[in-house]
Structure 1
Amino acid sequence: MSLESEQNKAIVTRFNKEAIEEGRLAVFEELIDTTFINHTAPAGMPSGKDGVIRFIIDVLRPAFPDLRVEIYDQVAEEDKVVTRKAFHGTHLGMFMGIPATGKAIVFPVIDIIRLQQGKYIEHWSIRDTHAVLQQLSQP
């Protein structure tokens, strides 16, 4: 594996741990390019840098304040990194119209990130939101 691929995997891991899990705004600013495009932005969210920050900081983290990212696999080739991961957290705030349930959830995700000069340029994702909604609706 090339040095660039290894560096890109490290950047993606850092983003998941420091930006998503810890909610560090400075890391979002450092690692997401101003030209960033999220090709699979959630409905109602902008597809640029601000949309990613808003989704994580204003939607995901308030709903699951103990959010933790578990990375299962990463594959890197050229300027792309694919990550199979899950968000783990306790539902303690509003999420997709559902008031806090206190339930622990696992939110499966597969991301493809394209990087350029150490920054996120493009993003594609498969998120199993249905699995989360099932977990929240079970008695």
Structure 2
Amino acid sequence: MSTEQNKQVVLRFNKEFIEKGNTEVLKEIVADDFKNHTAAGNVRNDVTGLIQFIGMIHKGFSDIRIDIYEQLAENDLVTTRKIIHAKHTGEIMGHAATGKAVEMNVIDIVRLRDGKYVDHWGRNDIMQVIQSL
């Protein structure tokens, strides 16, 4: 696939899975041997872990919107800088709903094979945002 096609897969992952919580899309865009090299804490580093982590985010936050600022692609890698905007409307990691608007900064690097996520590396401030609630 071209770098532009890979960028579209990453965009779809962000909009359909992270933003909307649609786990069905993962069957189409995440490989069976996917590995998240920077999975948080006790979260599994496979597709099950993705579902677990984003499920936790959707339980604690509503009105999730992702703004993608840059996507850089080379060969089979796509790097994305984005901000996740949300409202804290549910319990998350022991923090009762506050109604606060939050912003979570994220940089992801994804390796794709045949239009599917194979590897993920990332840095974000999601845990710091949750701890500040």
TM range (shorter): over 0.9
Question: Which one of the candidate residues 83, 97, 112 is aligned to 1:86?
Answer: 83
Within the alignment, does 1:31 sit opposite 2:5 as a pair?
A: no
Percent identity, please.
Answer: 47
Unaligned residue ranges in structure 1 (runs of 5+):
none
Match of 1:124 in 2: 121
Match of 2:16 in 1: 18
C-alpha distance in structure 1 between counterparts of 2:67 and 2:7, whole Å: 14
Answer yes or no: is the 8 Å Cα contact 1:71–1:84 preserved in 2: yes
Q: Aligned partner of 2:5: which letter?
A: Q
TM-score relative to the length of structure 2: 0.94
Query: What's the offset of the Cα at 1:29?
Result: 1.9
**Where do 1:1-139 residues align within 5 Å?**
4-57=2-55, 59-129=56-126, 131-133=128-130, 136=133
- 1:59-80 per-residue CA deviation (whole Å, 9 max, x = no partner) reads 0111112111110110000000
Q: Aligned partner of 1:121: which letter?
A: V
Q: If each structure's strand is expressed as a fraction of its own residues, which one has the higher value? A: 2
Answer yes or no: is the 8 Å Cα contact 2:92–2:130 preserved in 1: no
Query: What's the offset of the Cα at 1:18?
Result: 0.8
- 1:106-138 per-residue CA deviation (whole Å, 9 max, x = no partner) reads 0000000000000000000101135514652xx
Unaligned residue ranges in structure 2 (runs of 5+):
none
C-alpha distance in structure 2 between counterparts of 1:47 and 1:130, whole Å: 17
Output the aligned Cα RMSD.
1.4
Q: Figure out how many residues of one structure are paired with residues of the other and give that number.
A: 133
